Structure 1
């Protein structure tokens, strides 16, 4: 068994759940097992801050971070800054 933590940290809400999973468990399995409210709205996940694929195997002590959707288009933000807005 391995122990992992699944974290959802949004401006209005922070949820965290520690899980015991079998060796070879994947990011997708950890997210499903955590069953955190709002996890379905997350377009991607990271392990210790590095973007992770759903089929990526986890190691003991890993932290799976659920990433929230972008609030603004990065290209549009750069254009706005370049214009001085």
Structure 2
């Protein structure tokens, strides 16, 4: 890492709140460095970086990927339901509702 500082944002969204924190990092820093430096892990101890995915502007990346000035690092919460299963259940409920008419 060089002595030049870059600024990135680290974002984490909960159902009731969204947190976006600005962080200054040395050039060459990683996604892991950005999340650690942001203080997000202390603020939300339920975050488990070994299990949760991370991204930069909605593109999945690894914790060891480098960040660039202006990047928005996002920590994603685990899904509560499988999206495919939820769509199937919705379609089934709509079909049942229309057949009950």
TM-score, normalised by the number of residues in structure 2: 0.73
- Which of structure 1's runs of 4+ aligned residues deviate more than 6 A? none
Which of 50, 57, 69 is matched with 1:48 structurally? 57
The total of aligned residue pairs comes to 85
Which of the pair has the greater relative contact order for Cα pairs under 8 Å at 6+ separation? 1
Which is richer in strand?
1
* Runs of 5+ unmatched residues, structure 2: 95-101
User: Is the counterpart of residue 13 in structure 1 residue 17 in structure 2?
Assistant: yes
**Alpha-carbon displacement from aligned partner over 1:1-29 (angstroms, at most 9, x marks no partner):** 11101011222122221111011100011
Larger-Rg structure: 2
- Say what the alpha-carbon RMSD is for the aligned residues: 1.8
Kindly report which structure 2 residues correspond to 1:5-84, keeping only aligned pairs within 5 A, or say none.
5-36=9-40, 37-38=43-44, 40-41=47-48, 43-84=52-93
* Runs of 5+ unmatched residues, structure 1: none
